[in-house]
Amino acid sequence: LDMEPFGVHGRDKRFYITRNDGTSLYATRDVAYHVWKGEQADMLINVLGEDHKLEAKFVEVALRLLHKRVPETIFYSFVSLPEGKMSTRKARVVYLDDLIHEARERALAEVLKRRERDDKIDHIAHHVAMGAIRYNIIKVRAEKPIVFKWEEALNFEGQSAPFIQYAHARCCSILRKAARTPSQVDPHAEYGHESERELVKTLARFPDVVGEGVRNRNPSAVAEYAHELASCFNAFYRDCKVLGSPDEEKRLVLVAATRQVLRNSLHILGIEALEEM
């Protein structure tokens, strides 16, 4: 298949369907797979590394010539280390299993700074670790390169999953101490403190943020919003007494709403919303 009319030039302008012995190539099987896949779903989205752009173009052209559905493709840039791009030749590479193992060890050390060892500690450390890895990648737009740094991924006070998980756990703790969850919002409630109003406005943006993320295929919008909401809640918690306050009931409404929206945001990102940390 001559790819030059479709904008592919140079030595890669020909797309070979089979090998010399008649057997299929990987890209050929990929075309067949996409023909089948197009019959199974209402929406087709491929998420690929940016080094797959040429093959994705081959598949797209073949599908168009066959008058079959063409998937939308999102290309992710590479993940690198602070010392540079990963390279097997230079022995500068991180395998996923090793990354997860080290993340768990580092997360456990961080969690132990904040609570005594108990039967929940391993569960908490596991989900802090997995959330840290996932969030550190998702928070960056697909087309931008990612530099993975442990001090950022596991920072309980920065733009990280542990920071957001901790805010969610704090909401849960407040509601446990209150021994109740407000069942409904009073539409006539007035919030006089600036931190209350900022939290209400941030909570109200959640549906629009999710809609934008879906339309633009940009989960980093939800990741950024979750961090902003956690920060707003922390400011509210710092400035406004909840338990034992004359405004306890309406402030518990804000705590419960924040817990729910943080939980929903983390769920969208595939991160566990921990109730204790």
pLDDT, tens digit (0-9, with 9 covering 90-100), for 37-57: 999 988 999 999 988 888 899
Alpha carbons 79 and 85: distance in angstroms, whole number: 7
Alpha carbons 108 and 61: distance in angstroms, whole number: 49
Q: Where are the alpha helices (DSSP H) in the chain?
A: 26-37, 53-65, 96-112, 121-138, 150-153, 161-178, 194-204, 206-215, 220-239, 248-268
Alpha carbons 272 and 277: distance in angstroms, whole number: 12
Give residue-wise pLDDT tens across range 67-107. 999 999 999 888 877 776 655 556 666 778 888 888 899 99
Residue that is written with structure tokens 């080290």 in the block: 102
CATH architecture classification, 96-268: Orthogonal Bundle (1.10)
CATH architecture classification, 4-76: 3-Layer(aba) Sandwich (3.40)
Distances in Å between the Cα of 253 and the Cα atoms of 84, 170, 204, 226 are 47, 14, 14, 18
Rounded to an integer, the average pLDDT of 212-237 is 97
In which residue ranges of the chain is CATH 1.10.730.10 found?
96-268
Give residue-wise pLDDT tens across range 143-189. 888 888 888 888 888 899 999 999 999 999 999 999 988 867 676 78
Rounded to an integer, the average pLDDT of 259-264 is 98
In which residue ranges of the chain is CATH 3.40.50.620 found?
4-76
